[in-house]
Copies of this chain bind each other. A is one copy, B any other.
């Protein structure tokens, strides 16, 4: 009976799209996952490995021997192979590379040489090229003789004898114009071209803005080397936005849901360690004022409010500035204006929320001076949050660093320690 079940499951798997098999594998605990993985037809292993998350891919590859991996790798295109390569054992890559024809081997080597977030790492080599001096009917006949027509092809690339890109022939024009027209007369020349070393992020923006389906990738001397397709761009956008959300949540990378505990601990280690250091610093700031707290314990109960709201407010400013930097909206001219605006927002917020927390402190501890100190500390900490919320990402950007990464930890550290220092410092000066 068990065998019969497996046979049925295998049938179902065979009928599923590789992306759907990948989803299924990701949702299964390790032992069941490997059981299902064994049922997948060997010739589909490669395409499914490409679809699963990095963490799950690792668990699948560990279960395969070298021969299986080699067989899986050999079913893939050069660009796909390049995507998978970093996760494969080096000797498998080497053997696969040796088995490739010279041209493909060269392509694979160059694809492997591009940085992870570059156009070169995302592009494929499925390009159809035509010459500019032929008629559209000749192009049509040429296409009909091809045994393969790459997915997502919305344009053909017009090149000369040396492979230099002269323009593109949108399929649309091929279909709409008289077959007797010459390519040169209908090709587009004002086109978006990419370079392999361009940042994937910028390429994605171009696809989004100009509603592209494909774009040619050319070398420095304008020779065609590949193409970027919208499906690769969609995957990239998704992965990046996921990485961003995971990063904001404090995870280094996406986690295999059923990873061993020790792996999960490792994935969360760095964030906790950094936060622990900042917490220790904040703790020592409070330590300075233990004498003041001993005299007035109400301060201990009120101080987290000042620090917490400062952190929230600083994160709001940083989120806005990081987004504006990513969209290229911040210039030398408007930076000052933005800075003043954020300070104005902080002042307004400081007065409003400062009054609220001041009244809260007065209501509970019946001390006007405590309420006033609370309000003053709130205003000052929100101003600190605004200033640092603008400066941190701008300085990181100017220094060439990613303005988003770690900004949130930094601002929180500053508004925590700063908030404690401001509040307890004012209290030491005016209340004791």
> Which residue from B20, B261, B271, B301 sits with its C-beta under 8 Å from A290?
B301
Q: Are A19 and B250 in contact (CB under 8 A)?
A: no
Mask of A260-304 contacts with B, CB within 8 angstroms, 1/0: 011011001001100110011011101100110110011111111
How far apart sit A307 and B316, CA to CA, in the bound complex (Å)?
21
Q: Does A234 count as interface, using CB distance less than 8 angstroms?
A: yes
How far apart sit A353 and B207, CA to CA, in the bound complex (Å)?
45
Q: Are B319 and A250 in contact (CB under 8 A)?
A: yes
Q: Does A331 count as interface, using CB distance less than 8 angstroms?
A: yes
A275 to chain B: which residues have CB within 8 Å? 308-309, 312
Q: Does A208 count as interface, using CB distance less than 8 angstroms?
A: yes
- Interface 9-mer from A75-83, A114-122, A142-150, A219-227: A142-150
Q: Does A91 count as interface, using CB distance less than 8 angstroms?
A: no
Q: Are A276 and B349 in contact (CB under 8 A)?
A: no
Known contacts A230-B234, A250-B316, A290-B301; A27 and B334 CB within 8 A of each other: yes
Q: Does A337 count as interface, using CB distance less than 8 angstroms?
A: yes
Q: Does A429 count as interface, using CB distance less than 8 angstroms?
A: no
Assembly stoichiometry (copies): 2
The smallest C-beta distance from A16 to any residue of chain B, in angstroms, reads: 11
Q: Are A211 and B237 in contact (CB under 8 A)?
A: no
Q: Are B283 and A27 in contact (CB under 8 A)?
A: no
A6 to chain B: which residues have CB within 8 Å? none
Q: Are B312 and A250 in contact (CB under 8 A)?
A: yes
Chain B residue nearest to A331 in the complex (CB): B27
Q: Are B329 and A26 in contact (CB under 8 A)?
A: yes
Q: Does A430 count as interface, using CB distance less than 8 angstroms?
A: no
The smallest C-beta distance from A227 to any residue of chain B, in angstroms, reads: 14
Known contacts A268-B313, A329-B26; A241 and B237 CB within 8 A of each other: yes
Q: Are A242 and B323 in contact (CB under 8 A)?
A: yes
Q: Does A11 count as interface, using CB distance less than 8 angstroms?
A: no
Known contacts A300-B290, A364-B287; A353 and B213 CB within 8 A of each other: no
How far apart sit A302 and B394, CA to CA, in the bound complex (Å)?
33
- Interface 9-mer from A65-73, A101-109, A161-169, A175-183: A175-183
Q: Which of A339-373 contact B (CB under 8 A)?
A: 341, 344-345, 348-349, 352-353, 356-357, 360, 364
How far apart sit A283 and B363, CA to CA, in the bound complex (Å)?
13
A297 to chain B: which residues have CB within 8 Å? 290-291, 293-294, 300
Q: Which of A225-274 contact B (CB under 8 A)?
A: 230-231, 233-235, 237-238, 241-242, 244-246, 248-251, 254-255, 257-258, 261-262, 264-265, 268, 271-272
- Excluding A213-B213, A265-B345, A290-B298, 7 further A-B contacts by CB distance (< 8 Å) are A28-B334, A144-B177, A149-B175, A249-B315, A255-B320, A272-B349, A294-B294
Supply 15 A–B pairs (Cβ within 8 Å), ascending by A.
A19-B210, A149-B172, A149-B176, A211-B231, A230-B234, A233-B234, A244-B245, A245-B245, A250-B315, A258-B341, A268-B345, A272-B313, A275-B312, A287-B301, A304-B420
